Amino acid sequence: MADVNALFSRAEAQFRAGAHAAARADLLQLLPMVGEHVAVLHLLALSEARLGQRQAAEAAFRRALNAAPRDAQINNNFANLLKNVGDSEGALAHYTAALAANPALHAARLNRAGLLVQQGRAAEALPDIDALRRVSPDDPGLRLTGGAAMLALGQLDAAAADFDAVLAQRPEDAKALQGRARVSAQAGDDALALRLYRKAFSVSPTDPEVMLGLAEALEAMGEDSGLPLLAAAVEAHPGWLAGQDALARMRSEAGELADFDAGYRRARTKMPDDAPLASGHVACLMRAERYADAIITLDQWVARAGRSPEADRFEAMLASEVGDLQRADAAFGRVGDDPALAPAHARHLLRKRDPMAAAALLEPLALADLGAVNHWAYLAIAWRMLDGPRHEWLALQPGLVGTQAIEIDLAALAEVLRGLHRSRAHPVGQSLRGGTQTRTRLFGRDIPILKEVEKGIRRGIEGHQRGMPGVDARHPLLRFRDAPLEFSGSWSVRLADGGFHVAHVHPEGVLSSAFYVVVPEARGTEGWLEVGAPPPELGLGLPPLHLIEPRPGQLALFPSTMFHGTRPFASGERMTIAFDARA
């Protein structure tokens, strides 16, 4: 009979040497001798994970945790596996279990913080990051995670300090270079961002995220080499969805509207049975409002792979958008009660002129989440069609919509903004037509005229708040009547002859805006801002609740829950600054 201790020691040595298959063989031989031994099961789980055997690894981890449910290291390693296979909530639960068992296990705390940042929950990661800073303030892994969190929260100086600290220790760290480049891009220093991305690329030339950052940095500097660089990377990695989406956006903004999704189409000829790729292609076409093309692509996917809940959700939305209301009804019926699809379902019900059903669907969801902008936007339409006092309370109270005058050197501001508009066409998925939109945030850049206009706009927001009705804790905007508001996004739009905005809302804000820098010559109501009109494609025929004439130096403000768009203008230039504000 083999010596148990010797066999386990050999398995450990093989694992450390990277001979994971040999380690697994020894551990499988060992298990019948020792039973559900925690250390053996744990090492077996790690070996299976290194070999890419996800199901076997998960089974071994669960057996190990069944024997030792409070083992901090096993919980942490199992969480790592779950994170890598996309089970974020499961991973968070096991990181938390690891910390409950051993609060001093810094790896679990750092891993949990990093996952929260990846999920877009940076504020929730701050307690873990702060706790780790007190213990290991100079740890490079902590500074990378802290920098990513600060960047996500818009604290650019703090993010730069974290990434710079890593680079002081490890000048060739690709993640730190990439993070610092993103800070520079957000701050408007496109030249520095490009230099940093080039250095990151020299260190890690096969990292897709670095290639994407470099391509976008080249684009931001007005260089044409970014698009072919990204196209080559996507060609080499056809299943890379983030790259495919970025390539589609870049092609769209370069004016290649007919072929903006060419990367997806080529990839799907190579990988016709890849469900995530097909799903990504359909979603990309939907963002571009190419609904007829999207439903053809969806039907091709379903013909190969059969129905699925995801395909049913796409079918419900797309069938409604192309006017096949019976098909949409059937698909929504198959989907059932899906809160995430509620705004799309309500949109469909409104298109069918059934506001009562739309209101019944949305009311409990909107009242439970005052920040659910899309829910409130469609609920406002339903309440308006039902002609009740609830719509007056939500959208018609005096002071919700208004204008403020901002004193600024408009000519100097216009010159700076024109220099930031470097694309040639509107981006996929945005509301403008016949113009361009700046990409990274406008406010926070180290440009004096932008700092000045930001201060003026902040004063304008405060003036608007003072003119609003009193605080109402039940209202999606008035609950913040007396609260300080911060920018959740800021950008500039430049429209040319025939340009306009389609009706849309801003899900990231509570108060939305348009600050007019340049306006075309007035011809009736051409170019005017419409607030409160439902999207015309719903066919409801309801007029706007407010019409605002664009005037240079004027700031228009309105609840983010109100649909808004602009009327086309025949010729000239219309340039604005827009932002969302939230508490």
| Confidence at 219, pLDDT banded by 50, 70, 90 | confident
Average pLDDT over residues 232-260: 90
Residues 278 and 374 in one domain: no
Higher pLDDT, 229 or 424: 229
In a domain, 176, yes or no: no
In a domain, 181, yes or no: no
Instruction: Please determine, for residue 429, whether its predicted confidence score (pLDDT) is greater than 70.
Output: no
Task: Choose among 567, 565, 553: nearest CA to 517.
Answer: 553
Residues 495 and 356 in one domain: no
In a domain, 134, yes or no: no
Domain that holds residue 437: 402-582
Contacts by residues 285-290 (CB-CB < 8 Å, ≥ 24 positions apart): 285/261, 286/314, 286/317, 286/318, 287/428, 287/429, 288/248, 288/252, 288/260, 288/261, 288/428, 288/429, 290/261
| Confidence at 424, pLDDT banded by 50, 70, 90 | low
Residue whose pair of structure tokens reads 């405060």 in the numeric block = 462
In a domain, 265, yes or no: yes
Residue whose pair of structure tokens reads 């300080």 in the numeric block = 484
Express each pLDDT in 306-355 by its tens digit.
Answer: 999 999 999 999 999 999 999 999 999 999 989 999 999 999 999 999 99
Q: Rounded CA gap, 340 and 416, in Å? A: 40
Q: Rounded CA gap, 259 and 268, in Å? A: 15
In a domain, 458, yes or no: yes
Residues 573 and 531 in one domain: yes
Average pLDDT over residues 294-316: 95
Domain count, the chain: 3
Q: Which residues of 350-362 are buried (b: 16+ CB within 10 A; e: fewer)?
A: bbbebbeebbebb
pLDDT of residue 432: 65
- Indicate the SS3 state at residue 489: strand
In a domain, 73, yes or no: no
pLDDT of residue 499: 84
Q: Rounded CA gap, 222 and 199, in Å? A: 19
The helix (run of H) or strand (run of E) holding residue 575 is strand 574-582
Those residues whose C-beta lies under 8 Å from the C-beta of residue 267, and which sit 6 or more positions away, are: 234, 238, 239, 244, 274, 277
Q: What stretches of 375-509 adopt beta strand conformation (E)? A: 402-405, 432-437, 486-501
Those residues whose C-beta lies under 8 Å from the C-beta of residue 276, and which sit 6 or more positions away, are: 239, 241
Residues 332 and 343 in one domain: no
**Which of 42-46, 237-241, 443-447 is predicted with the least confidence, judged by mean pLDDT?**
443-447
The CATH number of the domain holding residue 454 is: 2.60.120.620
Residues 455 and 517 in one domain: yes
pLDDT of residue 256: 82
- Indicate the SS3 state at residue 488: strand
Q: Rounded CA gap, 491 and 576, in Å? A: 9
pLDDT of residue 485: 95
pLDDT of residue 172: 95
pLDDT of residue 154: 84
Express each pLDDT in 392-414 by its tens digit.
Answer: 999 999 999 999 999 999 999 99
Which residues are paired to 403 by β-bridges? 556
Contact 234, 247 (CB under 8 A): yes
Task: Choose among 39, 46, 58, 55: nearest CA to 15.
Answer: 46
Residues 432 and 469 in one domain: yes
Q: Rounded CA gap, 186 and 300, in Å? A: 40
Average pLDDT over residues 348-367: 97
Residues 408 and 374 in one domain: no
Residues 482 and 355 in one domain: no
Instruction: Please determine, for residue 421, whether its predicted confidence score (pLDDT) is greater than 70.
Output: yes
| Confidence at 1, pLDDT banded by 50, 70, 90 | very low
Cα torsion 169, 171, 172, 177: sign = positive
Instruction: Please determine, for residue 422, whether its predicted confidence score (pLDDT) is greater than 50.
Output: yes
pLDDT of residue 254: 82
Residues 427 and 445 in one domain: yes
Q: Rounded CA gap, 514 and 464, in Å? A: 13
Q: Rounded CA gap, 578 and 401, in Å? A: 15
In a domain, 343, yes or no: yes
Average pLDDT over residues 257-267: 92
pLDDT of residue 426: 56
**Which of 259-268, 476-485, 488-497, 540-549 is predicted with the least confidence, judged by mean pLDDT?**
488-497
Average pLDDT over residues 176-200: 93
Cβ–Cβ contacts within 10 Å for residue 429, how many? Answer: 15
Cβ–Cβ contacts within 10 Å for residue 407, how many? Answer: 10
Average pLDDT over residues 155-160: 94
**Which of 349, 365, 388 lies at the terminal end of a domain, its last residue?**
388
pLDDT of residue 438: 86
In a domain, 503, yes or no: yes
pTM confidence score: 0.84
Instruction: Please determine, for residue 431, whether its predicted confidence score (pLDDT) is greater than 80.
Output: no
pLDDT of residue 388: 81
Q: Rounded CA gap, 61 and 269, in Å? A: 38
pLDDT of residue 308: 94
Residues 273 and 332 in one domain: yes
Express each pLDDT in 68-113 by its tens digit.
Answer: 999 999 999 999 999 999 899 999 999 999 999 999 999 999 999 9
Instruction: Please determine, for residue 196, whether its predicted confidence score (pLDDT) is greater than 70.
Output: yes
Express each pLDDT in 5-57 by its tens digit.
Answer: 899 999 999 999 999 999 999 999 999 999 899 999 999 999 999 999 999 99
Q: Rounded CA gap, 364 and 347, in Å? A: 16
Residues 442 and 542 in one domain: yes
**Which of 328, 362, 388 lies at the terminal end of a domain, its last residue?**
388
* Total residues found in the chain within this entry: 583
Q: What is the mean pLDDT of the chain?
A: 93
Q: Rounded CA gap, 30 and 47, in Å? A: 14
pLDDT of residue 427: 60
CA angle 521, 525, 526 (to 5 degrees): 55
Q: Rounded CA gap, 99 and 91, in Å? A: 12
| Confidence at 135, pLDDT banded by 50, 70, 90 | very high
Q: Rounded CA gap, 229 and 306, in Å? A: 35
The CATH number of the domain holding residue 249 is: 1.25.40.10
Residues 478 and 575 in one domain: yes
**In the sheet where 546-548 sits, what is the strand order?**
546-548, 529-531, 564-566
Those residues whose C-beta lies under 8 Å from the C-beta of residue 487, and which sit 6 or more positions away, are: 441, 443, 454, 579, 580, 581
